[in-house]
Amino acid sequence: MRVLAAMSGGVDSAVAAARAVEAGHDVVGVHMALSKSPAQHRSGSRGCCSVEDSYDARRVADKLGIPFYVWDLSESFEETVIDDFLAEYSAGRTPNPCVRCNEHVKFKALLKRGMALGFDAVATGHYAQLKHAEHLELHRAANGPKDQSYVLAVMGPGVLSQVLFPLGDIPTKEEVRTEAAARGLGVSLKPDSYDICFIADGDTRGFLRERLGAQSGPIVDGSGTVIGEHEGAYGFTIGQRRGLGLKIPAADGRPRFVTRIDIPTNTVVVGPAEELDVTEITTADPVWLAPDRDPADELEVGVQVRAHGREIPATIRRENDRIKVHLAEPLRGLAPGQSVVFYEGTRVLGQATCEASGR
């Protein structure tokens, strides 16, 4: 196959490209430039897509003896990831930009361009597995702590036949680094990137304030008493405890958390932890990957609502264009906008977006 290897400049994508070459594919490396003004260097483990990263990716491609190109996808990234990120926070929701990036940039935009150039598939360094059963299935990676199936579930069934995940069967990150070193790849000890890639300093609230402007408003308790002020309700998320800046402590001395964000009145509501517990979730915009499992019938599944969160037993049922979720045990701190992924064992059945939740 002609394979387009997405090369970020990190060790995972480097080993993925090397494995694709070793498997006998005709491989071309491509680095996606996602920033309109990329930094020259990364700051430790923060950020990605720097000029330094593109150089690292090129050196790996040279070592593997494959052609290498840099594709400017910054406009697509700005429109589909960053603009969506700002719009979702402005609406009082909590988006996952990695989900949006995988859906619209790393697969949709990259695949579209790759297919137009005659490539058969895209290989990435994501930790997930594809298994060929009656239908092509997406499964968790062998490396549980690094599993990325949660952020990949959104890509849809049509994409599964056009992607390769060469790292899916590697049980530990240490083995990936060892393999990179054995292959003579200079990125074997390069630190992983984390946090939101376009907020390299990790200050999400500062990024939102810079883009959206200060919008002062009250922080209130459950009775409506003003107990603090904020510079923008968009800077908070359901379940948040730190950084509230409350001026009046709770009468019982217990910590308080953000329990509701009222965007029309620019008000942040706080309360005790138990107010965050939910057992029912209504989701919208489902993406279903399992044609042999019909959510119109009640299904028993595992539900995950965070990239590395715990899976919780649940029953689900599709009602019109939504999937209703009943959790077997309370889940704490779920926010509208979060991705809800449905599992059957290690298999990903589908994904939807949290629209509302309650008890």
- Give the residue numbers marked as catalytic: 101, 197
> Which token pair is 214?
């200060």
Q: Report which residue type is found at 180.
A: A
Q: Which residues of 1-12 are buried (b: 16+ CB within 10 A; e: fewer)?
A: eebbbbbbbbbb
CA pair distance 215, 217, nearest whole angstrom: 7
* Rounded CA separation 51/42 (Å): 9
C-alpha separations of 98 from 77, 103, 104, 132 in Å: 11, 8, 10, 26
Q: Are 16 and 31 in contact (CB under 8 A)?
A: no
- Asked if residues 246 and 269 have their Cβ atoms less than 8 Å apart, the reply is no
DSSP 8: -
CB–CB of 38/52 below 8 Å? no
Three-point CA angle 241, 245, 249, nearest 5°: 80
| Integer angstrom CA distances of residue 265 from 218, 219, 232, 282, 358 | 9, 11, 11, 24, 21
User: Residue 162 burial (CB < 10 Å; 0-12/13-18/19+)?
Assistant: middle
Report residue 62 as tokens. Answer: 């040279």
CA contacts within 13 A on the Cβ side of 52: 13
Residue 243 DSSP label: T
